[in-house]
Amino acid sequence: MPAVKRVLLSVTDKSGLLPFAKGLAALGCELISTGGTAKMLRDGGLAVRDVSEVTGFPEMLDGRVKTIHPRVAAGILARRSVPEHMAALAEHEIATIDMVVVNLYEFEKVAAKQGAPVEELIENIDIGGPTMIRAAAKNFEDVAVVTAADDYEPILAELSANAGVLSKKTHWNLARKAYATTARYDAAITARLASIDVVEDNWSDENESTPPVLNIHMPRRQALRYGENPHQAAALYASGTTGIAGCKQLHGKELSYNNLVDLDAAWQLICEFSEPAAAIIKHTNPCGCAEQATLVEAYRKAYEADPVSAYGGVLAFNRTLDEETALEVSSLFVEAIAAPGYSEKALSILTAKKNLRLVTVDGGVPDELVVKSITGGFLAQSPDLATFDPATARVVTERQPTEAEWVALKFGWKVCKHVKSNAIVYANAGQLLSSGAGQMSRVFSVEIGARKSVLPLAGCVVASDAFFPFADGPEGAVANGATAIIQPGGSVRDADVIAAANRLGIAMVFTGVRHFRH
C-alpha cells in the first residue's frame, strides 16, 4: 500500500479533527482543505493548501461547487499500479491524493426539525462529500477514506508505527464504512423527501403514514454474544442515541439480546407515566408496575405484585434512581436496570453488584415506524402512541365509575397496552395487581390473571386490550373481585356484555381504541 503523503480534509463535524490533522502534519503529510475546515486548521497553526489552489478554480455557487473538479477526482481515482493512469496525471500535472477525510452535511439533523422547509432540506444535501467518499472507497487500494472521527486515533497510531503506511485490511475496512456512510445518507434523504409532495406548486407533507420504499440502513453498534438462544447469532444495529438502542451502559456484564428486548419493553411502559413510576419486566411482560408519589414507593408497589416473577427481571424507572430506591432494589437479583440517571449514592450501592447491568436512556418513545421482520420481508406500522381520551371514551353501563375507579381504570389501561395479547390487567389506583398475558382465549387470560395474583383483588378494576366477545370474561373478572372494567368495545355481542355488567352492578368504560401487542 502507498504511503500517505497528501491528505484532503473537508468536514462538517470538526470534532477531533485538529489533533488528527496535527498528527498527519507531524508525519510529513501535505494538507489540502476547503472553506471552514481550512480556516479551522490554519487557526490551529497548520499549513493548509486551499482546494481552489489545487484546482485553479475558485469555490462558487455559495459553496455548492468546491471539490467537484477533475484535478480532485483524478488525484483520488488514479490507480497507482496502472502506468496509463499515472502518465495521464503527469501529463496534466495532477498530484495524487492519498487520504480523503470527509463527513457530510447534517441532513438528518435538519430533516428531524419540525416543519423544516424544503429549501433548507435541499441545501443540506451534500454533493461533493459523497462524490469524494465514493471515489476514494472505489480506489481503496491506493486511497484511505476516513468518514468517522472515532477512526482518527487508530489511523494515526498505525501510520506512526508503519512509516506512514496503512495496511490493506485497514484500507478495506475504511472503504466498507465509507459506503455504509453514503448509503445511510441517501436512505435518509430518500425517506424524508418521500414524505413531501407538491400541491398546486406548494410543498406539502403527504398523508401517507408509511413510505413507498422502506430504507433500513443502520450501522452495527454492538455484536452480541448470541440471540434469544445460544445457537443464534445476533447484533444491535442503531443510528441514534435515544431509546434503548442508544442507551449508555454504566456497569455490569455485556447486554444480551434478551436484555435489550426486555429493557425496551420496560422503557416503553415507563414512558407512559408522568408521576414517579417503576416497572418490572419478565419476558417482555410487566409482572410489576406502579405510579406513586415517590420512586421508592412506586418500586415497592411494583415489586409486591409478583415477587416471584420479579426475581431475575428487568427494571425501568422514569426518574433518576435515588439512594433509597437503590437500597430497596439491591436486595433483589435483577438482570438490568434502565433509568434517565442515577445519583452518586445509588450508583455506589448498585455497582457493588458485579453483574448488574445499569444503563441510562435519553428520550421517550419516538414517533417513528415500528419494523418487524417476517419470512421474506418486513412489516412496518406507526407506533401505538394512543392514550386514554376522555372525549372518545364513554361509560356504557348504568353505574358510573367512582373517582377512585377512574384513577385505577386509566392506570390499568396504560399498563394493558404493554401486555402481550390476549391481555387482561387487574389493577388498583397506581398499582398493577396481576395480569393474564398471551393467552389464546380472553376468558383464560381473566382466569390466569386472577390465579397468579398474590395481592387481594377485591375492589380492583380490570383492563382488557380488546373487546370481550362474550359475557363470560366480565363475569369471571367480577367473580374475582373487579368492580369496574375498561375495554375498547366493538364486539357484535357488546349488548350482551353491557347487560351482564349492569346485572352485576359494575361500571364499564368503552375506549374505542384497541391495544393488541403481538
Active site positions, annotated: 138, 283
Question: Phi/psi at 59 (nearest 5 deg)?
Answer: -60, 145
- CA nearest neighbour of 259 among 212, 318, 217, 315: 315
Instruction: Show Cβ contacts of residue 38 under 8 Å, excluding neighbours closer than 6 positions.
Output: 48, 50, 51
Q: Name the helix (H) or strand (E) containing 197.
A: strand 196-199
Cα separation of 181 and 17, whole Å? Answer: 18
Cα separation of 446 and 428, whole Å? Answer: 16
Pairing of strands 49-50, 30-33: parallel
Residue 56, phi-psi category: left (phi > 0), alpha (psi -120 to 50), beta (remainder) = left
In terms of Cβ atoms closer than 10 Å to its own Cβ (0-12, 13-18, 19+), residue 138 is middle
Pairing of strands 424-428, 431-436: antiparallel
Q: How many of the other CB atoms lie within 10 Å of CB of 260?
A: 20
- CA nearest neighbour of 255 among 268, 217, 364, 264: 264
Helices (H), 139-256: 152-161, 168-194
Instruction: Show Cβ contacts of residue 459 under 8 Å, excluding neighbours closer than 6 positions.
Output: 428, 481, 483
Dihedral angle sign, alpha carbons of residues 447, 267, 366, 247? negative
The C-alpha cell at 510 is: 368503552
The type of residue at 228 is E
**Residue-wise DSSP of 322-371:** PHHHHHHHTTS-EEEEEES-B-HHHHHHHTTSTT-EEEE--S---SS-EE
- CA nearest neighbour of 215 among 193, 232, 233: 193
For 460-517, what is the HEC assignment?
EEEEECCCCCCCHHHHHHHHCCEEEEEECCCCCCHHHHHHHHHHHCCEEEECCCCCCC
Question: Phi/psi at 368 (nearest 5 deg)?
Answer: -140, 165
